[in-house]
Amino acid sequence: MTPLPPLSRFPKGEARFPQAASGGRFPAEWSPHRATWLAWPHHAPDWPGKFETIPWVYAEIVRVLHSSEMVEILCSNDDVRDDARRVLDAHGVDMHRVRLHLVPTDRVWTRDSGPTAVRLEDGRIEWVAWSFNAWAKYDNYARDARVAERIAQLGGLPIRHAVRPDTGAPLVLEGGGIETNGAGVLLVTEEWLLSPVQVRNPGLDRAGYERAFAQYLGVDRTIWLGRSCIGDDTHGHIDDVARFTDEHTVVLAYEADPADANHEPSADNRRRLELAARHVPGGLRIVTLPFPRPVMMDGERLPASYANFYVANDAVLVPTFNDRRDRDALETLAALFPTRSVVGIHAVDLVWGLGTLHCLTQQEPASP
C-alpha cells in the first residue's frame, strides 16, 4: 500500500502535536462549538446505486451548519475537493465559513474515525484519539485510522492516544458508541463492548471500560443499555437509540409495536434507563422518540432512527425518512431544544450507507 503523504503544514522535523495535558471532561454536544468536522463523500460502494445524491445531502447539512459555526471538511484528494466546492457553491454556501482540507480517508464516518474532544479544567480543548479498526468489519481503514491525528494537526490542538487500562495496548472505540450529558454521565450499550462477538478489545471487562471512561472522558457514572437498533452496522452504537438532550433528559428511540424487531430491545433499554434514573443525582427524565417504519433496500433493513440527530450551535439536524412519524420526531425534539431550530434532513438515501447525521459529524467545542 502506498504510504499516505504527510500534511504540508507540518514539515519534516517539526513537532506534530502540541504538548497534551491531562484531565478534562467530555462536554455535552449542545455546549458551544467552534466547528463541526466532516469528510466529503467519495467511496461510492458505501451507497450502491445512490451515490450521486449523497454530495447534495452533504451540501444541505453544511448549509445549515455554517450559519453558526465553522465547518471543516476533509477531502480525500483534489478531485473530491473540487467536487465539494462545486456542490457547496451551488447551494449558496459562504466558503468563508467552510474550510476544505486535503486529507485521505477511506470512508466518511467522522464520528467514529475522528477523535473525541474533552474540555480541560482551564477551559482548553484536548482531543482523545481512539484506535480505529473499522468496526472490525472492513479491511480498508488505514487512512481512517489516521483521521484523528490529522484533525488534531489541522486545528493545532493537543491529542492523547487512549490505551487499555489492563494491558496498555491501544484502546479501540468509536465516537458513535458514547453519549454524555456533559456532567459526568455516559451512555453505552453492552452489545457494543461486552457481547461475546465483539472484537474491539478482547478481554476488557465492564470495570475496565469504566476505568477508561473515567480516565479519558472524566466520566463518573456509566449507564449500560442493552442493544442498538435493527440494521446497525456498528454492532451496538448508542447514537441510534439513546441521546441526552439536557443534563437530566434522555430521548430514547422506542418501538411500540410488539411485532416489530425493534420493540424488545427498545423496551429493555427503557427498563434499564428507568432503573438507572434512581441512581443518578437529580434523576433522569425519559422521553421516547418513535422509529420510522422499516426502511428497506435490497431486502435489508437499514438503521433508520431519528435518534441519530446532531446538535449544532443554533440548530438540531434530524434525519427524516418520508414517513408519517417524521413530524412526531421533529416536534418532540423541538420541544426538547426550544432555543434551536430543528431542521429535517432527508436521509432515505443517506441511510443506505448504514449511517446518517450523527455518524457523519464530529463537534469541536469552543475554547474560552
- Helical H runs in the chain? 54-65, 78-90, 110-113, 147-155, 190-193, 206-217, 263-277, 326-336, 357-360
The answer to whether the beta carbons of residues 178 and 170 sit under 8 Å apart is no
Of the candidates 35, 342, 359, 360, the residue annotated as catalytic is 359
Distance, CA of 265 to CA of 101 (rounded, Å)? 40
Distances (CA, A) of 311 to 42, 124, 319: 25, 21, 12
Q: Is 229 a catalytic residue?
A: no
Question: Cα dihedral sign for 351, 352, 354, 359?
Answer: negative
Distance, CA of 128 to CA of 171 (rounded, Å)? 11
Radius of gyration of the chain (CA): 19
Distance, CA of 126 to CA of 7 (rounded, Å)? 20
Q: For strand 221-225 and strand 185-189, is the pairing parallel, antiparallel, or unpaired? A: parallel
Catalytic residues: 359
